[in-house]
Structure 1
Amino acid sequence: MLLSSLNPATVAAGADVADAVRIDHAVLSRSDLVGAATSVAERVAGAHRVAVLATPTATTVLAVTGCLIAGVPVVPVPADVGAAERAHILADSGAQAWLGEKPSDTGGLAHIPVRLHARSWHRYAEPQPDATALIIYTSGTTGPPKGVVVSRRAIAADIDALAQAWQWTPDDTLVHGLPLYHVHGLVLGLLGSLRIGNRFVHTGKPKPDLYAAAGGSLYFAVPTVWSRIADDTEAATALRSARLLVSGSAPLPVPVFERLAELTGHRPIERYGSTESLITISTRADGERRPGWVGLPLTGIETRLLDESGSDVTHDGETIGQLHLKGATLFDGYLNRPDATAEVLDADGWYHTGDVAVIDADGMHRIVGRESVDLIKTGGFRVGAGEIEAALLGHAGVAEAAVVGVPDDDLGQRIVAYVVGDADPQALIEFVAQELSVHKRPREVRVVDSLPRNAMGKVLKKELAKWA
């Protein structure tokens, strides 16, 4: 069963938990979840697909859970999505109705409310493992967002592999304040908790004081949030009682890693994944946690690095290659886009991530970044933007850094760095040349007030390239 802890027989046998979910001032016991979500299931059973306005509320929790009980695919829609993008998601997904919170513009679809206090104890047969659970729309950096079709099998396989790697058990209390329309917050945070059976606390906003007050054992956050916590000594010190801190969705700067380790006593877990693959690589609770490295493939996941000719790349920790993945956590394709699916899923089942990485002799992976924007070919060298960013963040005057390659008649591409902080650009260029190699130094450093980021804290490199 995908939502193992919500098995009615298990709850009836005495496995109830009074505070299984805490979110938006609501507290739901496990029996509350089963009864209320099953009531939702009765209202949507037989539907083709439904859209859920994925606000961090009990309504969203019950809407998603009810659909999964009934075997109805969920299309999570960000609450702050623009009108054109929302219209595209509704039309492309074929959603038949809005379930849960009602948006200001329904797009002509019917609305089905969620009744928080309704209860049903009807038993639904478990859907087939290959049935679609979610259709999650990507950020659309290369055109309109694409619907990523994620199966129940993939979600179950991913959560079980992470439970093994992170020693995640029902005794944990998982805390995060992340959006419920992405893999990080929705699949790992909410569905992971419902499968494992641990307590789940959503803080509403991912603020340091709220994380500190939550009393969790397992915390999820993006690097921007961890950076704020590292800057708040009181909040960071409060996390010393936790068991594991997990960072993802973007690279965690090494200085933030080290500051968290100092203040909390925990070296953070770093992991790698995507909407298409879910989480596939991670450092382990019982293994090495090396700053800047995302660890080893999860159980059941294969990885490979290829050069531009399709040959295997040496696992020496230095040579950059295109990262491909294979395993049970992969998506089933892009909805209505067989052409786009064929571009990234080959006939042998390998997913071409579009990311570039290095692997060392022990199998540890370090993500360099997106091949399209983070692999810089300059003066005959292949340079990873992430390595330069890590070096810049090691300078006391740099708070944030992002590096891009821009066209150059002489070099092919010129390395340009954007930094937030208080440092002399020429001094930063010389600093990187000393820390790394001369050919990896930025040819330009531009000091800016802020870096453009998306909702998950990822720097929008294509926007920076336009600035250049």
Structure 2
Amino acid sequence: MTVTVPGIAARLADRPEAVALVESRGGTSRTTRRGELVRRCHHLAEALRDAGVRPGHKAVVMTRDAHDLTAVSYALGILGAVPVLIEPRAEVGRCLRDVAPDVFIGEPLAHLGRRALGWGRPHIGISLVTGPAPLPPGRRLPTRTPVGGAPPARLPEPDGDGPALIAFTSGSTGRPKGAEYHHSTLAGQLDALTALIGPRPDDVLLAGFLPVALLGPLLGLTTVAPAVNHLAPARTPPGELVAPMLRHRATVVLASPAVLTLIARHCARHGVTLPSVRQILSFGAPLRLRLVDALRRAVPDDAEILSVYGATECLPVSAIGDHELRAS
């Protein structure tokens, strides 16, 4: 039986003027609308194809830039290639040996690490640099979509149920391993998150974990990606989290307890409340009642606080509200 799931461009086709992604860093924001993101993805897909990337190629994407991570991963999906996401805290060299990627796409720092440490040396045949920095030398992906002129060709997206994504676990509970998602797996995950969140037209999602920025626009949500320190989330300056929540009136927060603790402490220390928040989804570690109490003091009384259980291979599996958590 052939399984057909909606492609990336199809999921982004509605409301082209709506905001898809906001990257917030140091008090400044970079905003990308849904129609612009679709054009960017097709433009990048053409550039990737011209560089030799083909359907079925496994392509590691390593960048802290939420816009580049999202656009490049979507573009790879449009081509039928398979994005590979590796936790920055994982054993990157071992992960690359396990997955044997054909392509390495990343910011300059990732390439410097790859060259210095020999990551993926026997397997990687195509190396592409993201971002505007002049180093290291190498073939660069375009940093901007051309304005005017002929629009990029709409490449046909895969319509079966082949591999769509490989995401590595962090290694916090054992050796990192790559979880392979098929297109139907991702579609099911999006359906489960839609049922859990119940997206509203005016919702704004704060993505406290960088890969969540990939899912937000596909859920139809304006997604804010704050400047989280992904090597050590608990060391993130809390103002980098709370300021964009207030500026963009975040309604849904998806983050780990470590990130939520920073938010709650900042609010308590500075007497800040978060009146726009209607839902907090905590995942990645147990949600402690002390943190729930601190969050409750910052959000409206009717806001929903959920402890979400799942794993890299499947998220979400279950969710429990803080009132039920307290009674259990």
TM (normalized to structure 2)? Answer: 0.74
SS of corresponding position for 2:250: coil
C-alpha distance 4-156 of structure 1, shift in aligned 2 (>3 A): farther
Per the alignment, residue 27 of structure 1 pairs with: 31
Per the alignment, residue 116 of structure 1 pairs with: 143
Residue of structure 2 aligned with 1:131, choices 143, 146, 162: 162
SS of corresponding position for 1:231: helix
Deviation of the 1:4 alpha carbon: 6.0
Per the alignment, residue 291 of structure 1 pairs with: 325
User: Distance between the aligned counterparts of 2:314 and 2:66, measured in 1?
Assistant: 26
Q: Is the 8 A contact 1:60 1:101 kept in 2?
A: no
Deviation of the 1:262 alpha carbon: 2.8
Residue of structure 2 aligned with 1:50, choices 47, 54, 59: 59
Per the alignment, residue 165 of structure 1 pairs with: 196
User: Distance between the aligned counterparts of 1:242 and 1:142, measured in 2?
Assistant: 32
Q: Is the 8 A contact 1:54 1:76 kept in 2?
A: no
Per the alignment, residue 98 of structure 2 pairs with: 92
Q: Is the 8 A contact 1:5 1:195 kept in 2?
A: no
Per the alignment, residue 253 of structure 2 pairs with: 219
Per the alignment, residue 249 of structure 1 pairs with: 284
Q: Is the 8 A contact 2:208 2:226 kept in 1?
A: yes
Asked if 1:149 is matched to 2:180, the reply is yes
User: Distance between the aligned counterparts of 1:235 and 1:49, measured in 2?
Assistant: 46
- Map 1:66-85 to 2 at 5 A: 66-79=75-88, 81=90, 85=91
Q: Is the 8 A contact 1:38 1:66 kept in 2?
A: yes
C-alpha distance 238-71 of structure 1, shift in aligned 2 (>3 A): farther
Per the alignment, residue 308 of structure 2 pairs with: 271
Mark the structure with the bigger radius of gyration.
Answer: 1
Per the alignment, residue 198 of structure 1 pairs with: 221
Q: Give the aligned length.
A: 275
Deviation of the 1:49 alpha carbon: 0.8
Deviation of the 1:231 alpha carbon: 2.2
User: Distance between the aligned counterparts of 2:287 and 2:160, measured in 1?
Assistant: 34
Per the alignment, residue 105 of structure 1 pairs with: 113
SS of corresponding position for 2:275: helix
Deviation of the 1:170 alpha carbon: 4.0
Per the alignment, residue 262 of structure 2 pairs with: 228
Q: Is the 8 A contact 2:162 2:183 kept in 1?
A: yes
Q: Which moved more, 1:24-33 or 1:254-263?
A: 24-33
Deviation of the 1:100 alpha carbon: 3.8
**Structure 1: gaps of 5 or more residues:** 181-185, 294-316, 318-468
C-alpha distance 230-16 of structure 1, shift in aligned 2 (>3 A): same
Per-residue CA deviation, residues 118-168 of structure 1 (Å, 9 max, x unaligned), is: 355322333235221211122346764221111121111122122122212
Cα root mean square deviation, aligned: 2.7
User: Distance between the aligned counterparts of 1:280 and 1:139, measured in 2?
Assistant: 18
Per the alignment, residue 359 of structure 1 pairs with: none
Q: Is the 8 A contact 1:77 1:86 kept in 2?
A: yes
Q: Which moved more, 1:228-237 or 1:111-120?
A: 228-237
Deviation of the 1:228 alpha carbon: 2.5
Deviation of the 1:289 alpha carbon: 4.1
Residue identity matched to 2:64: T
C-alpha distance 289-127 of structure 1, shift in aligned 2 (>3 A): farther
Q: Is the 8 A contact 1:270 1:282 kept in 2?
A: yes
- Map 1:295-306 to 2 at 5 A: none
Deviation of the 1:230 alpha carbon: 2.3
Q: Which moved more, 1:112-121 or 1:249-258?
A: 112-121
User: Distance between the aligned counterparts of 1:235 and 1:176, measured in 2?
Assistant: 22
SS of corresponding position for 2:60: strand
User: Distance between the aligned counterparts of 2:88 and 2:192, measured in 1?
Assistant: 30
Asked if 1:59 is matched to 2:59, the reply is no
Q: Which moved more, 1:262-271 or 1:250-259?
A: 262-271
Per-residue CA deviation, residues 436-464 of structure 1 (Å, 9 max, x unaligned), is: xxxxxxxxxxxxxxxxxxxxxxxxxxxxx
Residue identity matched to 1:227: T
Deviation of the 1:37 alpha carbon: 1.3
Per-residue CA deviation, residues 38-58 of structure 1 (Å, 9 max, x unaligned), is: 122123341511111141332
User: Distance between the aligned counterparts of 2:173 and 2:198, measured in 1?
Assistant: 37
C-alpha distance 164-272 of structure 1, shift in aligned 2 (>3 A): same
SS of corresponding position for 1:21: strand
Per the alignment, residue 443 of structure 1 pairs with: none
User: Distance between the aligned counterparts of 2:93 and 2:58, measured in 1?
Assistant: 15
Q: Whose RCO is larger (CA < 8 A, sep 6+)?
A: 2
Per the alignment, residue 3 of structure 1 pairs with: 8
Q: Is the 8 A contact 1:36 1:115 kept in 2?
A: no
Asked if 1:41 is matched to 2:68, the reply is no
Per-residue CA deviation, residues 183-229 of structure 1 (Å, 9 max, x unaligned), is: xxx2xx22332222211111112543233322211111211222232
User: Distance between the aligned counterparts of 1:291 and 1:228, measured in 2?
Assistant: 21
Per the alignment, residue 239 of structure 2 pairs with: 209
TM (normalized to structure 1)? Answer: 0.53
